[in-house]
Amino acid sequence: MPYVQLGRTQGLGQAEHSRALLARDLAAGAITGELAGVVMMTVLVVAFPLAMGRSPLVPLQVIGAFVFGDTATEAAHLPSLVAAVVLHLMGPSLLWGLVAGALVFALNVRRFPSLLPLGLMVGVLAQVVDVNMVLPPAFQALHGHNIWAENIPTFWSWVAHVVYGLTLTLHAVVFRRLGAYLD
């Protein structure tokens, strides 16, 4: 049975080898993006009570406010908390993880030292694109004001996104683990 090992191909032509590596990088990117999304939310949930004396649920409430508006930020609102986790993991966490996986494939970098700047770049892009470009007009159109900017300090937003990017460096581990299952 043909399989792919990093650095060599056995039983596959060049095109098949390339497609198999792309699929593995995208799968590793998706998995790593989800892990990074959980780590990112955890950082915010821990930072809010420790650094700001606010409820640990505030970051989740704010994400849930994308669907439920101000109702989500007024009190612990279970539907908005569930929506927050689903939205964050199935939206930006997955998307940016796939972007990272595609970049890993395109740049052919699968080792930690090379993944570090790539992960940081993706984390910064996620902050700039999502928080600075997408959320302001989206929140404005949906709810009349930017609920994210009003509730999540810029510093902590940046910290969370940098942590997301740093966590993407786990791509190397996930990529190897996927190879073990595929081989």
**For 35-73, how does the pLDDT look when each residue is reduced to its tens digit (9 = 90+)?**
999 999 999 999 999 999 999 999 999 999 999 999 999
| CB-based contact 21:105 (threshold 8 Å) | yes
Closest among 6, 175, 180, 171 to 96, alpha carbons compared: 171
Q: Which pLDDT value is given to residue 172?
A: 95
Write out the two tokens for 95. 């998307």
What is the token pair recorded at 11? 């039983």
Between CA 96 and CA 107 the distance in angstroms is 16
**31 token code pair:** 């998995």
Share of the chain above pLDDT 90, in %: 85
* pLDDT, position 76: 87
pLDDT for the residue 183: 56
Residue 42: partners with Cβ closer than 8 Å, 6 or more residues away? none
Q: How confident is the model at residue 12 (pLDDT cuts 50, 70, 90)?
A: low
Structure-token pair, residue 177: 């683990």
Pick the residue with more confidence: 7 or 17?
A: 17
Q: What is the pLDDT of residues 64-105, one digit of tens each?
A: 999 999 999 998 889 999 999 999 999 999 999 999 999 999
Alpha helices in 90-153 (DSSP H): 94-107, 112-126, 135-143, 147-151
pLDDT bucket at 33, cuts 50 / 70 / 90: very high
Tell me the two tokens of residue 173: 């581990």
pLDDT band at 11 (very low <50, low <70, confident <90, very high): low
What's the rounded Cα separation, in Å, for the pair 23 and 169? Answer: 18
